[in-house]
Structure 1
Amino acid sequence: MKIALIKTGNVEIPPKGWGAVEKVVWNYKINLEKLGHTVDLIFPWEVTDEYDIVHGHLENQCETIKSRGFNYVFSLHDHHVVLNKEVLKRNLRCIKDSIVSIAHAEYLVDREFESTDKLFYLEHGVDTKKYIDKGIEHDEHKLLCVASNGLLNDPSHDRKGFSYAIEAAMKLDLPISVIGPKNRDFFKRYSHLESYDKLTVLDNISEEELIDAYNNHTIFLHPSDLEAGHPNLTLLESLSCGTPVVGTYNGTNKLKGMVICERSVDDVVDKIKYTIKNYDELKKDAKEGILDYDWSVIVNKLEQFYFNVFHIKDEFDNNLVKERVIDAYINTNKNYKNPLLPKIDIVVDYKDGVKLEILSSIQDANRSFSVDFIDMDNGEVLYNLNMGVNQWASPNRKWYTNWSVNIKEINGNVDERISMDISNKKVFILLDSKSLGDTIAWFPYIEEFRLNHKCEVIACTFHNYLFKNVYPELKFIEPGENPDSDVNYKIGWFSPPWGGDRNLNPNDYRLIPLQKTSSDILGLNYKEIRPKVYLDEIKGYRPPTDKKYVCISEHSTAGAKYWNNEGGWQNLVDELKDRGFDVVVISKERTNLKGVINKTGGFDIRDRMMDISNSEFYIGVSSGLAWLAWALGKKVVMITGFTDPICEFVENNIRVQNMSVCNSCLNKPNVEFDRGDWMWCPFKKNTSEHFICSKSITHNMVMDKIIENGLI
């Protein structure tokens, strides 16, 4: 059937705050849709003859619907209608003009409106999958009232019995919370109660906060005087959360987990004591009995009303309506049909590895899907699970994988295979290191990825200035900017553990070249690639000397990276000068070397690049400036003991390393580099061989390598 549920006004459906009628209407909608019906939320002036059922919830709505020539089903939500003669008269007229009407208060059906022959009782319900017992352990009992107090034009009227509840809490010295809108007006009349030091008063809260409130308290109090026997929503919600109720509701169908009280402080106190004494049994009863009030059960009854009303909506009289609807109510399974499965949306994105969402406008716990996340390059199933609608799943692996996601519904018709294709997609690649050396090492594989996959790449580094003007096909953004992308990858040395999590780094980064970190994460075959860098000539720049010169830098980011041979640098400088070279020191940190051109300090990186570019060659330790010199096409004399020869670049690297002593500790799989320990030396610290890897390298060893490679 196509069903129109009439909106109640400007309150959103579902309501974000307080709105009992709107909550009822919303649960009608989603559960009717589960049963295969088309349900629209519309205003009364939007009704057309395309609808099989038009269901109004306010008497003024129904007047509009009737004036436009349409028949309707009416729900009477005003349980205090008998207190105002004019309102009563309008609602009676609305009921008499309806095909059939529904009340959620038994007394309205049994007494005042029986003569209409059109008013029938339908209970309220609760979403038992949302309002759940979260299993919170409590050290003491805490009492709770949830309601919007007041009556008609008197907001201070104690219709909900807050005064009885608070005074009972005071007598028992128990904490109590009162939650609901406009309850401050109640305390204007009952100001003496507000001084109770164990009282908490809250106004509007969200639905999730309300569910938490039911769970964070142990007994729900509801000594109301005009609840009319629905039962009302808050009673059902509390019981669904496993929180027993002490209240005045006394309908025909007794609520399991509820203890009935009178509106007197002493009786409320007695019933709280009884509840505490029998708490475990009442809690168990509440969770079992509430299943009869799940919205799926209530809406199944409503559907039977609709089925029978549908056949008599054009020509009806009281006797026919009564006969049909009573039959429907008693025999609720008579016309029951298997639910139609609502449409689902399968969403796969690649912004953090791969993520699958199975979305539906209807939450259906009975639908289940078998899901495989497969690496298409080798056929390996990397993650398998069963999942339901409105759930998501994601394998832990974040590096590039040629994903296929297979979704097959268990006992259903869905059978889909979604294969990753990133051609022409926007791919965001972040280099997650501020280090100059890491950036230069990892960057060229961003361009390789673009060429390999024919995609649009958005690059983000802390040194974009090096690449922007020489990689025109790449788009650059600065760190912290949000990319408009379809696929995301992050390059870095991720820890813990030291060596990398295999879900973030495919291989232990200690055992591979630094550049391979990037090609691994991006799924590329490894080959050493020297990146292009932009040499921006500085206006007015002058080389540091008119003679041929060598650039050197003594410094790096850890003591183990230094050339720790005492006097080594000075001896090397002296010999280079003897051979006709000036020596220019270009580190940011100061130098104590004699006979050098001192360009230490905070020079612009462009100035450093010009100095290196005009030099004969570069000498340094394993550092960012060594990588920069290599990127500029210069030969690099690298003095090192800290890293394995596999770690840095090979092309144009004249490596000076003593392999006959302890060396390459950074790349040992059995140790973890401690960045916070400047003196870190895992095998020789506090011995005479501390930093022996570089101490043992003499200036003569360095000069021999320079001469062997024809640099002088």
Structure 2
Amino acid sequence: MKILLVGPGIMPIPSDGWGAVETLIWNQKIYCEALGHKVDILNKRGLVAALFAKPWSYDIVHVHFDPLAKFWNTLSVRLNFKLIVTSHYGYAAYPEKWHYGYQNIFKVLMKSERLMVLSEDILNVFRRNGYKGKIDVLSNGVEIQQFVFNKSALLKKAICLGRMEKRKRQVEVAQKISEKRNLVCDFVGPLNSLVFKTGNQYVNYLGEWDRATVHKNLTNYSCLILFSDGEAHPLVIVEAMAAGLSLVISKEASANLDLNLPWIYLCDTVDEVAEYAEKAITENDLYRAQIRKYAEENFDYAVIAQKYIQIIS
């Protein structure tokens, strides 16, 4: 097949830092090409760039940035090419949390002929609202072999890895952990506009890591904490599992996971985050090989790329 992947046009592809969507697009390209398909990337906006890319010459055009859906819907009708749109909006499965801008985007997505979504919960939102087009679910994937894996955690610590923002509730987690005297958590990621203060030895902000550092250092930790109040399918979850980490997560961050697994700790409150993080750190070494295997069997990009091709064929 001949596939055109359309990026947001905000960060470079591949990204060396915090572009989860950009990382996803790059991996789709690499792994689909390994299966024998031709994949190009358009990471520029505007009509001239779109026409120069000749989307009508592709079997599938896949847009990974929902604010562009209206433009590409119109273009696909006028130029007669097959289009898939994916929304990576963190609150896509939670209509009660949508901001006004996404409400308008959702109306556009409802008119799209074909969607690919990141979880069953997101699919159900579209179906409940009367979506009549073709819609498929495909989870995020991870390059398992890019992540160093140690059989035992070198640091008996938790880590919060991701952009520091209100939706991910790192400040609440930091405040609760600061009350504990036998629990240590490192925080890594861009600060965004949020003022993130730690102020004690139990909470440590390490700044930003590039991709190579994430690949190398994540395995040093025992568990990942992601107490977000809205996620589609967070890439950091599958990355943490690739590195052997247990998961201390909110229900909103649990898409596509088997919640019966003993190293996944689901938290309703920030108090439970602190409680389960202590347990996860203590027990992680018992499960690390299982965690890595689970990630490899279910989320390795070699697996995800095959599912992707089957869906779009």
Aligned to 1:178: 187
In the TM superposition, what whole-angstrom CA distance separates every residue of 1:627-662 from its partner, at most 9, and x where no partner exists? Answer: xxxxxxxxxxxxxxxxxxxxxxxxxxxxxxxxxxxx
Name the counterpart of 1:107. 121
Q: Deviations over 1:434-466 (max 9, x none)?
A: xxxxxxxxxxxxxxxxxxxxxxxxxxxxxxxxx
Residues 137 and 8 of structure 1, relative CA distance in 2, 3 Å threshold: closer
CA distance in 2, matches of 1:3, 1:148: 30
Determine if contact 1:235/1:245 at 8 Å carries over to the other structure.
Answer: yes
Q: What amino acid is the match of 1:91? A: F
Q: 1:117-168: per-residue Cα shift (whole Å, max 9, x none)?
A: 4333211111101023145663x51121011132xxxxxx253344225523
Give ranges in structure 2 of 5+ residues lacking alignment: 45-49
2:55 match: 48
Q: Which residue of 2 aligns with 1:24?
A: 24
Determine whether 1:4 maps to 2:4: yes
With over 3 angstroms needed to count, the CA separation of the structure-2 counterparts of 1:300 and 1:54, relative to structure 1, is same
CA contact (8 A) 2:63 2:84 kept: yes
- Contact 2:85-2:112 at 8 Å conserved across structures: no
1:130 equivalent among 134, 143, 146: 146
Shift of 1:205: 1.7
Does 1:236 pair with 2:238?
yes
Alpha-carbon distance between aligned partners in 2 of 1:222 and 1:163, rounded to the nearest angstrom:
11
- Deviation by residue 1:353-412 (Cα, 9 ceiling, x = unmatched): xxxxxxxxxxxxxxxxxxxxxxxxxxxxxxxxxxxxxxxxxxxxxxxxxxxxxxxxxxxx
Cα displacement (A) at 1:246: 1.2
Match of 2:36 in 1: 36
Q: 1:91 aligns with which of 106, 122, 139?
A: 106
User: Which residue in 2 is equivalent to 1:247?
Assistant: 249
> Partners of 1:206 and 1:303 in 2: how far apart?
30
1:318-337 maps to which residues of 2 (within 5 A)? none
Q: Report 1 or 2 for greater relative contact order, CA contacts < 8 Å, sequence distance ≥ 6.
A: 2
Task: Find the aligned partners of 1:170 and 1:28 in 2 and give their Cα distance.
Answer: 42
Q: Normalising by structure 1, report the TM-score.
A: 0.39
Verify the 8 A CA contact 2:150 2:243 in the aligned structure 1: yes
8 Å contact kept, 2:120–2:137: yes
Aligned-partner Cα distance in 2 for 1:134–1:182? 29
Counterpart contact for 1:143–1:169, Cα < 8 Å: no
User: CA RMSD, aligned part only?
Assistant: 2.4
Q: 1:166 to 1:31 in 2, by over 3 A?
A: farther
Superposed displacement of residue 26, structure 1: 0.7
- Name the residue aligned to 1:141: 156
Q: 1:223 aligns with which of 227, 239, 252?
A: 227
Distance 1:92 1:299, change over 3 A: farther
Distance, in Å, in 2 between the alignment partners of 1:37 and 1:276 is 42
Give the corresponding residue for 2:47.
Answer: none
**Kept in 2: contact 1:175–1:198 (CA 8 A):** yes
Give the C-alpha shift of residue 77 in structure 1: 1.0
CA shift, 1:184, in A, is: 6.6
Q: Distance in 2 between matches of 1:143 and 1:198?
A: 10
Of residues 50, 59, 84, the one that matches 1:73 is 84
1:257 CA displacement: 6.2
Q: Max radius of gyration: which structure?
A: 1
SS of 1:225 mapped into structure 2: coil
Task: Check conservation: 2:161, 2:187, Cα contact below 8 A.
Answer: yes
**SS of residue in 1 equivalent to 2:172:** helix
SS in 2 for 1:299: helix
Equivalence for 2:66? 59
Contact 2:223-2:284 within 8 A present in 1 as well: no
* Residue 206, structure 1, aligned to residue 206, structure 2: no
Question: Contact (CA 8 Å) 2:248, 2:267: kept in 1 or not?
Answer: no
**Alpha-carbon distance in 2 for matches of 1:185, 1:214:** 23
Go from structure 1 to structure 2 and tell me whether the alpha carbon gap of 1:158 and 1:301 turns closer, same or farther (over 3 Å shift): closer
SS of corresponding position for 2:214 = helix
Once the 2 structures are TM-superposed, how far is the Cα of residue 12 of structure 1 from its aligned partner? 0.8
Contact 1:74 1:95 in 2 (8 A): no
**Contact in 1 for aligned 2:225/2:248 (Cα 8 Å):** yes
**Alpha-carbon offset, residue 112 of structure 1:** 4.5
- Which of 306, 309, 312 in structure 2 is aligned with 1:306? 312
SS at match of 2:248: strand
How many Å separate the matches in 1 of 2:10 and 2:272?
Answer: 41
- Pair 277,218 (structure 1): closer, same or farther in 2 beyond 3 Å: closer
Name the amino acid aligned to 1:51.
Y
Relative distance call for 1:113 and 1:20 in structure 2 (3 A) is: farther
Determine the structure 1 residue equivalent to 2:269: 264
Cα displacement (A) at 1:39? 0.5
Verify the 8 A CA contact 1:169 1:176 in the aligned structure 2: no
Give the Cα separation in 2 of the matches to 1:253 and 1:245: 10
**Aligned residue for 1:533?**
none
Match of 2:300?
Answer: 294
In the other structure, the counterpart of 1:361 is none
Conservation of the 8 A alpha-carbon contact between 1:8 and 1:58: yes
Q: Which has the higher helix share?
A: 2
1:352-501 correspondence to structure 2 within 5 Å: none
Q: Which residue of 2 aligns with 1:163?
A: 172
Any stretches of 5+ residues in structure 1 without a counterpart? Answer: 151-156, 308-712
Distance in 1 separating the partners of 2:90 and 2:127: 12
* TM-score, with structure 2 as normaliser: 0.84
Task: Report deviation, 1:280.
Answer: 2.5
Residue of structure 1 in register with 2:280 after alignment: 275
